[in-house]
Amino acid sequence: METTLRGVGVSHGVAIGEVRHMGTAVLEPPAKQIPAEEAEREQSRARQAVEAVAADLIARGNLAGGEAQHVLEAQAMMAQDPELIADVERRIAVGSTAERGVYDAFASYRALLAGAGEYLAGRVADLDDVRNRIVARLLGVPMPGVPDSDEPYVLIARDLAPADTALLDPALVLGFVTEEGGPTSHSAILARALGVPAVVALPGAGELAEGTLIAVDGSTGEIFVEPSAAKRAEMESAAAARKAALSASTGPGATSDGHKVPLLANVGGPGDVPAAVEAGAEGVGLFRTEFLFLDDSTQAPSEEKQIAAYRAVLEAFPEGRVVVRVLDAGADKPLDFLTPADEPNPALGVRGLRSLLDHPDVLRTQLTALSKAAEGLPVYLEVMAPMVADRADAKAFADACRAAGLNAKFGAMVEIPSAALRARSVLQEVEFLSLGTNDLAQYTFAADRQVGAVSRLQDPWQPALLDLVAMSAEAAKAEGKSCGVCGEAASDPLLACVLTGLGVTSLSMGAASIPYVRTTLAKYTLAQCERAASAARATESAEEARLAAQAVLSGE
């Protein structure tokens, strides 16, 4: 009998197939004691397993490229954390086996992360995956992960570690459903990059029996269990029509009455550029530069290395706009040479621009490298600072850009509610705003973007978040400046129309979402988008806002 479940749709498309479950987690190793003379051998086993897992994660990242590579390299750094390895060796020295020492050391570190504030708590799933891989190697059992199958399937998991999501084969994995996660979790972001339909934050997903036929709608978040033939035909027909419309959609982003809304791509490095170009991106709205700094957490990359990487991206968009975010370190992206190690709550501490202003040499080198990378190119370079809180932050960044001789527009990311509330003040110092809706939602609602239990508060349709977007866009219009969105909210085609109606001047997203947004935006006039935006803001919940906007745009 057909039943319907609802989670959070995070990656567009329809998947119909049988359920396969993620491989089970590694069992807890027995707590047996070893003789003192075996300690050195067990310590060597532990170190070898750690290095092998780190190498495997890096290799997976190199294969995957793009955003996935940066996430996996961060996991490899986690595996090789010197303090964590030292703790493992201390436990082995007093009698633990290698696998038990790893298990207990990671459990202790896990407890620290879980209690270190919501943002760092979101890294627990990544830490658990690293632990499971090391313990599995020591025990000589298969790695936990994606099941082996010769037939396409829909993957079900409690949560997906980046190492698993990064190498999903779209030819076999039709889509995936997780119990945990949120719309801006690593898994959701990587699913959109892969173009795999996905639904997250679906309680009870793990109870779906192996082999059960389900239909997944990655746009609405609906899961149809044992769908009827009529329901399958309806979904397949709708998916085919959508695919045909996407193929026919080309050119710049615009509403049906010609109001231009540039559609840009979010990229993490040169590896993401081909997909962005193929999708017809009009430029880059968010170039995350962290990937260069993850290779070595002890020192910043040289100016020469930075110039080469930046130029590779800038050259791909001649005459296009490329917006570069300077290094956003701290919180879940700690760097030994830059971020404090003893902050009680790093998400609310020295993060982003704050850490760069504390290390002006790192910021100066990056700005100089960007300036040199753009020399002689016809690209429109714009550079923005992360985590800007007020006018003083904006001024400090603009002053640093001028001091470095940067020939570009300077901007500020709006991720902290204070920057939205005082956007007109911030715009006295910079030339544009870019809304990072992922962190803006996180800080507005005190809801960690990695925690599925608070996913309703991470929903970018929340009216309070729409109010902050509107305030920022209105301030930019009053100052004659631009205000884009580079957070994951822009990848939702319906919400893209609402953001346009709120006055946002450009939208940036993962490359796979660009055709969906372009096609949907072209169906409606600017006036319709404005009416949908007003209707959404007049509601009291994210779901009501979504339904209100749908009603306006469908003419109901």
From the candidates 359, 401, 483, 486, give the one annotated as an active-site residue. Answer: 486
Catalytic residue among 186, 359, 401, 497: 186
Residues 270/66, Cβ–Cβ less than 8 Å:
no
In angstroms, rounded to a whole number, what is the distance separating the alpha carbons of residues 13 and 198?
8
In DSSP terms, 157 is beta-bridged to 178
Q: Which two tokens stand for residue 86?
A: 């030292």
> For residues 61 and 72, is the Cβ–Cβ distance under 8 A?
yes
What strands lie across the sheet with 198-200, from one edge to the other? 3-6, 222-225, 213-217, 14-21, 153-157, 173-178, 198-200, 8-11
Report d(CA 322, CA 276) in Å as an integer: 12
529 among known catalytic residues = no
Annotation marks residue 483 as catalytic = no
C-alpha R_g of the chain: 24
| Of the candidates 219, 204, 103, 212, the residue with the CA atom closest to the CA atom of residue 158 | 204
Residues 167/190, Cβ–Cβ less than 8 Å? no
H runs (alpha helix) in 65-141? 66-79, 82-93, 98-114, 118-121, 124-139
Tell me if 406 sits within 8 A of 391, measured CB to CB. Answer: no
Residue 316's alpha-carbon distances to 39, 52, 235, 267, 367, in angstroms, are 54, 36, 37, 12, 20
User: Side chain identity at 177, as an amino acid letter?
Assistant: V
Inter-CA distances, 215 with 182, 210, 316, Å: 20, 14, 38
Query: How far is residue 262's CA from residue 272's CA, in Å, rounded to a whole number?
Result: 19
Pairing between strand 409-414 and 198-200?
A: unpaired
**Catalytic residue positions?**
186, 486
